[in-house]
């Protein structure tokens, strides 16, 4: 039996969720394989309607979902209400993208003479890769879980999806799955379009199943490694898209420290403690200049940190890691500058105190850049931009890199741009990396070890992960998908090399 636990008290409830058996995984995967062809054949408009129905269903069940998730995660009603809105928004955005149709990358090259002789008619578009496995995250019970972006992008691609529920919010996952099923029923989706499995062993069985053709994952490097090992035992390799680990360096330029150090300290405090610091984009290292302006930032950040109440983490494992990593960072030379009010001895569940550590940029290396999932930040004081650039070369690369800089400091931007671009998938100017806008141009992914692929897991282009290209040569019109027929003009297409907008 799998347990659900209230992180605010640490008390586990006896709950009714059983781990999925291997036979159960096999049955779900088989149904997904059957659904895959049916889903693809119903065309894009059906998938858009399904995504819209998913959004409607999330909204209809919102209060109940939020209450269930709050009890399991301690993330709070305000944050969770916002997150459920994000789930609904994501489903609608993908519905819009599916209707717009550019993501199928339709291309037609007519038969004709070429410099290499007569060429046949060739037409190409992206089609579903087949059933997808999705591993829900601990820290986003909605937006990166059963009701999350991986599920949205899989459905947009036309891929049935089986989610592995995260152990930290089993009841939320179960209720979320019922929401998906109600949407499937509302539009008459093929049986097997959605599935869910519980328990780590079932997750491993899932990625090993021959019917599964891709996997999306948000979680730790260690868990990803275990899944990759399971995938490596398959006869047929499948793509495994993992969002893994990120230290998210943030640099405050000398000019920015002078001009607006107080505001930056406040922003940084909010960013590193939001959601109890349990965000993959939490700034884990802040480069702050040596000297008075920099010291003022550290002092302000210390004051805010010292006054902060304990925060509840998602589970005991994360709580345990928080303490372990804090110890390791101190052993590696980081000095404690401030810590929030102490956690009471009893009845505080998985709480920890926000923590501010300091080191020098010259000392910063991989040991001082270990990601700590929770409200902890390391300030690295620097004497020169060269020190910052060099430190970027010694710390792991990230999802994001942030620069606070004044408009007139063009030399600072020029000096740091190569480091920022090489070390991250998203570069933030004069803001904070937490808060990932769900949109067409978003990129949530970066160089290893932040992700293990060239793709994003947030925003419209996330759909690309679950598609494969298919070309038809000299096909009769009736054998082509409608998107590639001569008369179809409802989507942008590249015709004989020329991009043509929808008519």
Q: Which 49-108 positions form the footprint of a second copy (CB under 8 A)?
A: 82, 85-86, 89, 96, 100, 102, 105, 107-108
- Beta carbon of residue 457, minimum distance to a second copy (angstroms, whole number): 11
Q: Provide the token pair at 234.
A: 């398959």
Q: Which residues contact 24 (CB under 8 A, 6 or more apart)?
A: 197, 202
One residue of 309, 469, 482, 503 binding a second copy per CB under 8 A:
469
Interaction of residue 489 with a second copy, rule CB under 8 A? no
Whether residue 372 lies in the annotated active site: no
User: In this structure, are residues 286 and 380 in contact, taking their beta carbons and an 8 Å threshold?
Assistant: yes
Report the C-alpha gap between 203 and 97 in whole angstroms.
Answer: 30
User: In this structure, are residues 206 and 164 in contact, taking their beta carbons and an 8 Å threshold?
Assistant: yes
Q: Quick one: DSSP state of residue 239?
A: -
Q: Is the peptide bond before 449 cis (omega within 30 degrees of 0)?
A: yes
Sign of the alpha-carbon torsion through 38, 39, 41, 45: positive
Write the binding mask 235 to 254 for a second copy: x where contact by CB under 8 A, - elsewhere: -xx-x---------------
Phi, psi of 488 (to 5 degrees): -75, 125
Q: Provide the token pair at 482.
A: 């409608």
Interaction of residue 311 with a second copy, rule CB under 8 A? no
> In the window 314-333, what residues touch a second copy (CB under 8 A)?
none
Residue 476 burial (10 A CB sphere; 0-12, 13-18, 19+)? exposed
Q: Provide the token pair at 34.
A: 């059957």
Q: Provide the token pair at 441.
A: 């141009």
Nearer to a second copy, 381 or 404 (CB): 404
- Beta carbon of residue 330, minimum distance to a second copy (angstroms, whole number): 26
Report the C-alpha gap between 442 and 119 in whole angstroms.
Answer: 38
Q: Provide the token pair at 435.
A: 């808060």
Q: Quick one: DSSP state of residue 249?
A: E
- Beta carbon of residue 461, minimum distance to a second copy (angstroms, whole number): 7
With tokens 């929770």, the residue in question is: 374
Whether residue 280 lies in the annotated active site: yes
Interaction of residue 429 with a second copy, rule CB under 8 A? yes
Distances, alpha carbon 491 to alpha carbons 98, 102, 131, 210, in Å: 10, 6, 25, 33
Task: Choose, from 83, 243, 370, 409, the residue flagged as catalytic.
Answer: 243
Interaction of residue 122 with a second copy, rule CB under 8 A? yes
Interaction of residue 256 with a second copy, rule CB under 8 A? no
One residue of 81, 295, 384, 453 binding a second copy per CB under 8 A:
453
One residue of 27, 221, 427, 490 binding a second copy per CB under 8 A:
427
Task: Choose, from 280, 326, 358, 371, the residue flagged as catalytic.
Answer: 280
Interaction of residue 421 with a second copy, rule CB under 8 A? yes
User: In this structure, are residues 426 and 395 in contact, taking their beta carbons and an 8 Å threshold?
Assistant: no
Q: Single out the segment in contact with a second copy by CB under 8 A; choices: 24-32, 109-117, 150-158, 383-391.
A: 109-117
Interaction of residue 233 with a second copy, rule CB under 8 A? no
Q: Single out the segment in contact with a second copy by CB under 8 A; choices: 173-181, 248-256, 318-326, 417-425.
A: 417-425
Interaction of residue 124 with a second copy, rule CB under 8 A? yes
Interaction of residue 16 with a second copy, rule CB under 8 A? no
Interaction of residue 467 with a second copy, rule CB under 8 A? yes
Nearer to a second copy, 235 or 345 (CB): 235
Interaction of residue 475 with a second copy, rule CB under 8 A? yes
Size of the site for a second copy (CB under 8 A): 77
- Beta carbon of residue 83, minimum distance to a second copy (angstroms, whole number): 10
Helix axes 44-60, 77-100, angle to 10 degrees: 170
- Beta carbon of residue 485, minimum distance to a second copy (angstroms, whole number): 14
For the CA atoms of 217, 218, 223, 226, what is the dihedral angle to 10 degrees?
20
Q: Single out the segment in contact with a second copy by CB under 8 A; choices: 267-275, 336-344, 387-395, 470-478.
A: 470-478
One residue of 437, 482, 486, 503 binding a second copy per CB under 8 A:
437
User: In this structure, are residues 224 and 216 in contact, taking their beta carbons and an 8 Å threshold?
Assistant: no
Please identify every residue annotated as catalytic: 243, 280
């Amino acid at each position: 039996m799998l347990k659900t636990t209230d992180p605010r008290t640490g008390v586990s409830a006896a709950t009714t969720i059983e781990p999925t058996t291997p036979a159960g995984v096999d049955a779900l995967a088989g149904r997904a394989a059957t659904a895959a062809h049916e889903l693809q054949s119903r065309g894009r408009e059906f998938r858009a309607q399904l995504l819209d129905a998913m959004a409607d269903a999330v909204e209809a069940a919102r209060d109940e979902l939020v209450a269930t998730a709050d009890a399991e995660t301690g993330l709070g009603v305000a944050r969770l209400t916002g997150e459920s809105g994000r789930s609904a928004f994501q489903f609608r955005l993908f519905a819009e993208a599916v209707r717009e149709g550019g993501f199928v990358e339709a291309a037609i090259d007519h038969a004709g003479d070429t410099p290499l002789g007569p060429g046949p008619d060739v037409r190409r578009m992206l089609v579903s890769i087949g059933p997808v496995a999705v591993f829900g995250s601990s820290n986003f019970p909605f937006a990166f879980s059963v009701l999350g972006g991986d599920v949205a992008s899989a459905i947009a691609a036309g891929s049935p999806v089986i989610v592995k529920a995260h152990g930290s919010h089993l009841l939320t996952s179960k209720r979320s799955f019922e929401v998906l099923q109600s949407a499937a029923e509302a539009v008459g989706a093929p049986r097997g379009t959605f599935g869910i499995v519980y328990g780590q062993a079932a997750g491993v069985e899932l990625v090993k199943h021959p019917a599964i053709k891709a996997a999306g994952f948000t979680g730790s490097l260690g868990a990803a490694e275990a899944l990759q090992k399971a995938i490596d035992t398959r006869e047929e390799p499948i793509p495994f898209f993992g969002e893994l680990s990120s230290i998210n360096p943030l640099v405050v330029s000398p000019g920015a420290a002078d001009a607006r150090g107080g505001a930056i300290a406040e922003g940084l405090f909010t960013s590193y403690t939001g959601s109890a610091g349990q965000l993959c984009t939490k700034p884990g290292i802040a480069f702050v200049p040596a000297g008075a302006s920099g010291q003022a930032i550290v002092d302000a950040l210390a004051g805010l940190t010292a006054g902060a109440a304990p925060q509840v983490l998602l589970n005991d494992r994360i709580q345990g890691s928080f303490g372990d990593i804090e110890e390791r960072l101190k052993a590696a030379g980081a000095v404690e500058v401030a810590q929030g009010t102490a956690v009471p001895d009893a009845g505080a569940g998985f709480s920890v105190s926000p923590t501010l550590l300091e080191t020098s940029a010259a000392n910063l290396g991989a040991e001082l850049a270990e990601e700590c999932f929770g409200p902890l930040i390391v300030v690295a004081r620097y004497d020169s931009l060269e020190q910052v650039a060099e430190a970027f070369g010694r710390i792991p690369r990230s999802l994001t890199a942030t620069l606070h800089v004044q408009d007139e400091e063009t030399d600072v931007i020029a000096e740091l741009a190569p480091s920022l671009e090489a070390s991250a998938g998203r570069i933030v100017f004069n803001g904070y990396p937490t808060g990932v806008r769900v949109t067409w141009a978003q990129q949530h992914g970066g160089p290893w070890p932040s992700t293990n692929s060239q793709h994003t897991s947030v925003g419209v282009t996330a759909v690309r992960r679950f598609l494969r290209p298919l070309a038809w040569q000299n096909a009769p019109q009736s054998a082509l998908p409608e998107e590639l027929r001569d008369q179809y003009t409802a989507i942008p297409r590249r015709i004989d090399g020329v991009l043509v907008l929808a008519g």
